[in-house]
Chains A and B, each alone.
Chain A
């Protein structure tokens, strides 16, 4: 089957680029540790549970994404794999550096995830821009990237997958590859894949050959948008302003199982404190609070409650969370807990509550300021507990090279 982009798209004056950092977490670690170069490296999730990032060499050893670390202990030993705990403050800082470097080019930019960004490029941009972008990000930050460019965001994403297989890491997509399986297309999930396969549609080319009316009849409207984008009609634009958060979740697996209500309360209080600080950072308040706990048997229990007035005041939130926890708690062992703040409203949009005490208004910003300046948990709530044994175990974490003065990279000269 031959395939050409629709005539409409020829009039379009912009192209989309997707920048994707290669094996991002591993690449961040490698910037500060040459001993990890040319060697298989994996990064583990919180608590050193499973593999969440792999170097090219680790992929070649067929270590899958999500592999439980304990199951692969032998493989790690046999092939001298460097195994690291995740260091999210490092990855977050390096991500900001990559995005800031990309911004220097002056194209509208949308940070899509910690390691991906969309760029809006003029349609007549020479292809050499790819090498320019790639080289500058590598030189400035040490992070290698791939770049896919296409006339829609979905095509740019297909392009970036193809770019990763190339040595120069850059691909300008002009036509859809033959035999591109539908499940590899951005925006097509496993359920849609199953249904498409059921109709005998397995590849992107087979999918875009279907009529709009047929697609609309059998699938949610999101799929038609994917199809239009694959045909070359832009339906998604670069969102420079991040959409406001809909909810904030803070949760963690415990290093050791937690057995008492007191310990669980302390853990939940500190999740509330973390989530509430994020809330205040974004000038938001929550109108709804939910908590969940996961038992030793891996069964989750949850409870939630609306808040009388939207708030970001940590003590109120902790009190509500503890109330919910007391209802939920049954004797036993717990492996994980978390807090979700939702129905978020902007501070300034908030209605005034005649009965609410506002005397505490300045307390939280002051506390946040002190913690930013003097380090996390300089000030914290007694409810969070002084002993934080429940915190996750990250035994092989690298230093916070870019965010803590006492953990700078040391060089012997």
Chain B
């Protein structure tokens, strides 16, 4: 003999008219992350990028799958240290530019140990005071 039973309680009453329109709620990952395998988060300290709206304590979203172009804000490794700057390619020269007039541009020279770690795609900045 075979018995059937229902896993969900049987509703007696008018079914919800919204039932046919159920969609999953919004997921921030969908909006902010195109390549999950290549996406990393870092936290920054300091104010050299303040004019690019990157403040001390912010979290940056980095996509390593993107190739950096002139104008991209990048995470770079320069002589063994991480930094975040705007990449500028001008007349066959490479510069790392701060977004704060107090910080001079850095020209990348042959002898520098320089590597691009990833391209910054979003800044997560808390508005509400802590």
Contact = CB atoms under 8 A, between A and B. Distances in A.
Interface of A: 34-35, 37, 96-98, 100-101, 104, 139-142, 401-402, 405, 408-413
A139 B81 CA distance: 19
A101 B37 contact: yes
Given A140-B65, A410-B43, A413-B44, A35 B37 contact: no
18 contacts: A34-B80, A100-B37, A101-B37, A140-B35, A140-B37, A401-B40, A402-B40, A408-B43, A409-B40, A410-B42, A410-B45, A411-B75, A411-B83, A413-B46, A413-B48, A413-B49, A413-B54, A413-B83
A97 B37 contact: yes
B88 interface: no
Contacts of A413: 44-49, 54, 83-85, 98
Contact of B64 (A37, A104, A139, A402): A139
A10 B80 CA distance: 50
A409 B42 contact: yes
Most buried by B among A100, A104, A413: A413
Contacts of A142: 64, 117
Contacts of B54: 413
B108 interface: no
B59 interface: yes
Interface residues of B, number: 28
A411 B57 CA distance: 10
A34 B42 contact: no
A411 B64 contact: no
A100 B35 CA distance: 10
Contacts of A139: 38, 64-65
Nearest to B36: A100
B45 A141 contact: no
8 closest A-B pairs (Cβ-Cβ)? A100-B37, A140-B38, A413-B46, A411-B82, A409-B42, A97-B37, A408-B43, A413-B84
Interface in B20-48: 35-38, 40-48
B49 A411 contact: no
Given A35-B80, A97-B37, A413-B44, 18 more contacts: A34-B82, A37-B80, A96-B37, A101-B38, A139-B65, A141-B38, A142-B64, A142-B117, A408-B41, A408-B42, A409-B42, A409-B82, A411-B75, A411-B82, A411-B83, A412-B44, A413-B85, A413-B98
Most buried by B among A34, A100, A410, A411: A411
A411 B45 contact: yes
A408 B59 contact: yes
Given A34-B81, A37-B80, A142-B64, A409 B43 contact: yes
A412 B65 CA distance: 23
Contacts of B38: 97, 101, 139-141
Nearest to A98: B37
Contacts of B85: 413
B80 A411 contact: no
Nearest to B84: A413
A162 B12 CA distance: 69
Contacts of A401: 40
Interface in B63-89: 64-65, 75, 77, 80-85
B95 to A, nearest CB: 16
Nearest to A410: B43
Contacts of A412: 44-46, 82-83
Nearest to A401: B40
